[in-house]
């Protein structure tokens, strides 16, 4: 059981990082720092949702 939880946490971390990076890259392309912050927060929130749903 502990292993499953650890895998879930790792997946959560990867989703958070991937979401944050994807959001940041997309918004940096738009050239807006405010959108960049929103993209990072969006990525973190998406990661949280995926974590709790799975």
pLDDT tens-digit map of 24-52: 777 666 666 566 677 777 777 887 777 77
In a domain, 41, yes or no: yes
pLDDT of residue 9: 78
On whether residue 52 sits in a domain, the answer given is: yes
Total count of domains within the chain: 1
Any domain includes 14: no
5 in any annotated domain: no
> Cα–Cα distance between 7 and 19 in angstroms, integer?
18
At residue 29, the pLDDT reads 65
| Element spanning 32, H or E | none
Domain assignment present for 8? no
Residue pLDDT, tens place only, 6-22: 777 787 788 888 877 87
CA-nearest of 10, 8, 20 to 45 is 20
Whole-model pTM over 0.85: no
Q: How far is CA 51 from CA 1, 16, 23, 24, in A?
A: 16, 9, 18, 20
Query: What's the domain range around 35?
Result: 23-54
Does residue 46 contact residue 15 with C-beta atoms inside 8 Å?
yes
Q: Domain for residue 7, yes or no?
A: no
Interatomic CA distance for residues 5 and 3, integer angstroms: 5
4 pLDDT higher than 70: no
Q: Does a structural domain hold residue 10?
A: no
In-domain check, residue 13: no
- What's the pLDDT at 49? 79
């Amino acid at each position: 059981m502990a292993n499953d939880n650890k895998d879930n946490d790792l997946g959560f971390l990867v989703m958070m990082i991937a979401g944050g990076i994807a959001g940041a890259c997309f918004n940096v392309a738009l050239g807006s720092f405010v959108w960049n912050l929103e993209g990072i927060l969006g990525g973190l929130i998406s990661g949280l949702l995926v974590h709790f749903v799975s």
